[in-house]
Structures are given as C-alpha cells and as structure tokens.
Amino acid sequence: MDLPAYERLLRTYFADGTEAFLPQVSINCVVFRYTHPRLEVLFSRVPGMEEWYLPGGYVRKDETLEAAAYRNLTYSGIEQVFLRQIYT
C-alpha cells in the first residue's frame, strides 16, 4: 500500500526524528508584501500535494528560532528576507 504524499514527506523530513529536532517547538513564517492596492501573503505547496501551507517546520536542537525560520524559508525558495518575530 502506497503512503500518501504528505506522510512520505514527513517520514523523509523526520528520518532522524527527535534526535535532531525539538518536537515541542515549531515555527511558521508569514511572508507578506504590500502591492498597491492589496496585501499579498506567501503560501507554499509540496510537489504531489494539493494543500497550501505557510512556510515553517520544526526547530533543530542546535539552532535558534531565527536560524530555523531562515532554513525553512529556503525550502520555499526565499533566500533574502527581513525577519521580525511578532510574538512567541
């Protein structure tokens, strides 16, 4: 039986599981820009899946929240972005 695309992605992404990640700490990045007259928000989609989501993921044990945000944004193709933590 084939696993759904999302479950395959999770198993690949978390192959080293709790040894590398903090399972109780995750982040989501809301990337937006104002293009007159509207506010645009970035959503991502994993190839092979229909769902859209905010870029984000779990924090590695050896990184800061900011480093985790930058790492997760690079998965969405965002490399140079100004980050500001709004609330913890």
**Would you list the domain boundaries of the chain?**
5-74
pLDDT attached to residue 66:
94
Contact 48, 3 (CB under 8 A): no
- Tell me the two tokens of residue 87: 């609330």
- Reduced to 3 states (helix: H, G, I; strand: E, B; else coil), residue 60 is strand
pLDDT number for residue 14: 66
Helix or strand holding residue 18 (H, E): helix 17-20
Q: Give the pLDDT of the chain (88 residues) as one tens digit per residue.
A: 677 776 776 677 667 666 778 878 889 999 999 999 999 999 988 777 888 999 998 899 999 999 999 999 998 888 888 898 887 6
